[in-house]
Amino acid sequence: MKTLSKEEWKRRRRIKHYARLSVIGASFLLIIIMILWGAVSLVKKLTAGADPVWTSAGDVEITDMLLTVNDYSRPQIKMDDVTGVVIHYVGNPGATALTVQKYFQQLRITEKAYASCHFIVGLDGEIVQCIPVNEIAFASKDRNIDTIAIEYCHMDAAGECTGKTYDSLVKLTAKICKTYNLGSDDILRHYDITGADCPSYYVENQSDWDQFKADVMAAMENIEL
């Protein structure tokens, strides 16, 4: 067996020492990277689709009545970037916001249709939220993935809003537009996407639809986020 000199023994000891330090340093760096990666992932999860449940639109309170997660009305599919808001009418004269919400909720049991919306505006101007704004609703066919859907209630078959319903619909649409930096051309009727006669009143009365969009743009100035 070869006998090591004192200098060679010291040199090998230094090499082992530095090797241990390198392993410790690499392990420490890996731990730091994993911590940072986890922190970034957590921040992304917490900030994705900010404010999924809203409490108000202007001076109108929004009631949280989120649907139970299910395949027929709330599939919990994440929304893409919001590029529009789609206005629908419920198509059932006299139906209330609560009635419509219950219908969507029951679809998880009845399995009769795929249908829902993000918000319902009632006959007295009340607003109910059914789906968080960072999830899709089954409302607007190919545009479900990038639009927020509003259904409004109406008393007559023509689908014209009551004054209170109209006021809340304007404020809610204005909040959506201001939140997602949308313009007048980004406010759509169901009709504009699929050709469906919805909302019937605004399909038949183009000038009133143009006025609605103008009222929304004006209301944005008074909406606080």
Convert the pLDDT of each residue in 101-150 to its tens digit: 999 999 999 999 999 999 999 999 999 999 999 999 999 999 999 999 99
Same domain, 42 and 72: no
d(CA 163, CA 7): 95
| 64 and 105 share one domain | yes
Q: In the numeric block, which tokens belong to residue 42?
A: 């957590």
Q: Which two tokens stand for residue 39?
A: 């922190």
The Cα–Cα gap between 203 and 195 comes to 10
Question: How many domains does the chain contain in total?
Answer: 2
With b for 16 or more beta-carbon neighbours within 10 A and e for fewer, the 75-94 pattern comes to beeebeebebbbbbbbbeee
Residues 146 and 180 grouped into a single domain: yes
| Domain co-membership, 11 together with 106 | no
Alpha helix positions (H), the chain = 6-47, 97-110, 163-179, 190-194, 200-204, 206-219
38 and 76, same domain (yes or no): no
C-alpha span between 62 and 131 (Å, rounded): 12
Q: 74 and 143 in one domain?
A: yes
21, 86: one domain:
no
Q: Give yes or no: residues 42 and 65 share one domain.
A: no
Identify whether residues 133 and 207 lie together within a single domain: yes
Residues 1, 31, single domain; the answer is: yes
- Residue 140 phi/psi, 5-degree rounding, is -130, 35
- What is the extent of the structural domain holding 38? 1-47
Residue-wise pLDDT tens digits, 138-167: 999 999 999 999 999 999 999 999 999 999
**CA–CA separation, 164 vs 170, rounded Å?**
10
The 10s digit of each residue's pLDDT in 30-89 is 677 666 655 544 444 444 444 689 999 999 999 999 999 999 999 999 998 999 999 999
From 18-22, 140-144, 191-195, the region with the lowest mean pLDDT: 18-22
209 in the same domain as 147: yes
- Same domain? 33 vs 86: no
Q: What is the CATH number of the domain that holds 112?
A: 3.40.80.10
User: What's this model's pTM, rounded to 2 decimal places?
Assistant: 0.78
